[in-house]
Structure 1
Amino acid sequence: MFEVLKRHPVGAALAIFQPEYKSHQKGIYRGPTDHNSRLSSVHAVSLVAVDEENGERFVWARSSQGCEFGIDGCIKVSLDTLILHLPRDGDEITDDSSLDKLLFSSPTPLLSRFSYPRLFTVDEEDSKEEKD
């Protein structure tokens, strides 16, 4: 993903935890920061650059919330944060039906499901056209 990102944006799925995501503005988004945080969805974003701040690696992710969100429509997402679902008192450990238990049953980054096109070289494109 990092090599591809040097050439063009990469699509990804971002785990959205509330209230952190909704209240997030300029800092680095690290997912849940409180025991009351809840996974609300997984949101498609476009990753546009990798950077570092105070020793923490993060990726600039363009969101579909528009230019008013984050910094000109982008959010800094930590690449160093891993999420793990830990059962609470009263949770059924065998009940794997909730989204957070399914997605975070082992340590998992906030970003997943990377997607990007594989672009043909000029020679590959010419060869493909000759075969068609």
Structure 2
Amino acid sequence: MKTILIMMMALLGACTNSVEPKELIGKWDNSYEIRTKEESGEWTEWTTINTFAALPSLEFTNNGKILWDGKPSEACCTFNAFELKGDTLKLSELVVKEECELVNCALCDTWTIVALTDKQLELNICDNSMVRYNKAK
């Protein structure tokens, strides 16, 4: 009886759509901080992004969607979904807009969570840059 109960609980757990860790789910504001990888393979110090344009907030939803300022990205080449495995975000649902047919969409489909707290998220994007986000209020 105990074995059957454990098997049922495992099956129910496998059918849920929740994404772990739950701290990732929600809106993240760009902190305007970035670091890049030098040719030597070393990471630079965090530097401030100086721009007059507002950078969009990033949102991870419970159902595995990626939103920018609350909606799917309007960029030429973008991923609209993710799956979390350990500290790796596997991106999917690549969208290439028709008006951008001449754009090379050679994007990597993996981001790595470098740091995640209830207040801050650091993402390694394609192993050549890291971006820092702050939890939106």
Shorter-chain-normalised TM-score: which range? under 0.3
TM-score by length of 1: 0.23
TM-score by length of 2: 0.22
